[in-house]
Structure 1
Amino acid sequence: MKFQYNFQKVVDLKGNEKTQAEWMLSSALGELQTQEKDLVELIELRNETLLALQAAAERRTPMAAIREMQDYVDYLDNCITRKQGEISQAHQEVSRKQENLNSKALDEKVWLKARDKALGIFQQNLNLREQNELDEMATVRFAMKSL
């Protein structure tokens, strides 16, 4: 006799939901890493521009060019501020996805425990049935020897 869990489709569904939540978390982490990489690139570009601005000031570059470079640095500062906000949102999204994954994993664990409990009961009943059959066989043999 083979064990067949009545709610196996629910267990499978919970497993699939957990896998999907893992993918979503992975995607959110990838987005966060991309945002952080972009921020590092913006900071590096800003630092390079500041060095170029400093060098231009020492070479007696026309004021219009210096002002243009300073405007570009200000623009980069705004981009960096915006990117930091996007990173903050990405961190929040990762947190939400992590909480969702934890919830799905807990859900799956509950259903797996229920299935394991049902399997234990099934095996216990099977063992009891086999023991009863063996006892019956022993009783019949004993009765036949008595005759």
Structure 2
Amino acid sequence: MKFNYKFQHILTLKEREKEETFSLYEESVRQFERAAQKLYELLKKKEVLEQFQSEKLETGYSIQKIRHNQIFVHNLEETINYWQKQVISTRKEMKYWEEKLLESNIEVKKYEKIKDKSYDYFQQWVNHYENNQMDEIAAIQFQHRKGN
């Protein structure tokens, strides 16, 4: 006899959903890492620029160059603000897919547990059936020996 799990199709669908959710989660992690890396690079660039500007102010710097650097720093700060929002947004998306992945894992585990219990019940039934068959065979053999 072969074990046939009645919810196998549902389990297969849940496993496929879990795999899709995992790939979406991985993609959201990559997007978050890219945004965080870009933000880090911009912050580092701003730090270097501010240090350069500080050194130049001590040694003497023309007003035109100071204004030019201030405009550049202002634009850099706007870009940093944009990437900070991107990091927050991608972090939220990553957390969302992480929660969905956890839910998918739980769903798959539920169906796997049901499958395990069904298989255990099936095994008990098969053992009981085989024992009954053996008892019947033994009774028939006993009847044949008794009749001879």
TM-score interval, normalised by the smaller of the two chains: over 0.9
Structure 1 residue 137, shift from structure 2 partner: 1.0
Unaligned runs of 5+ in 1: none
* Structure-2 separation of matches of 1:135 and 1:26: 57
Q: Which residue of 2 aligns with 1:85?
A: 85
Partner letter of residue 60 of structure 2? R
Q: Which residue of 2 aligns with 1:37?
A: 37
Please, what TM-score do these two structures have when normalized by structure 2? 0.92
Q: Which residue of 2 aligns with 1:125?
A: 125
* Structure-2 separation of matches of 1:138 and 1:41: 82
SS of 1:5's partner is: coil
SS of 2:71's partner is: helix
Number of residue pairs the alignment of both structures matches: 147
* Structure-1 separation of matches of 2:54 and 2:67: 12
Q: Which residue of 1 aligns with 2:58?
A: 58
* Structure-2 separation of matches of 1:145 and 1:16: 59
Structure 1 residue 80, shift from structure 2 partner: 1.7
Structure 1 residue 53, shift from structure 2 partner: 1.4
Structure 1 residue 2, shift from structure 2 partner: 1.1
Structure 1 residue 94, shift from structure 2 partner: 1.1
Question: After alignment, is 92-101 or 79-88 more displaced?
Answer: 79-88
Residue identity (%): 26
* Structure-2 separation of matches of 1:107 and 1:54: 58
Matches within 5 A, 1:84-103: 84-103=84-103
Matches within 5 A, 1:100-119: 100-119=100-119
Q: Which residue of 1 aligns with 2:10?
A: 10
Partner letter of residue 116 of structure 2? D
1:69-96 Cα deviation digits (max 9, x unpaired)? 0121122122222212211111111111
Partner letter of residue 98 of structure 2? Q
RMSD between aligned residues: 1.3
Q: Is the 8 A contact 1:18 1:101 kept in 2?
A: yes
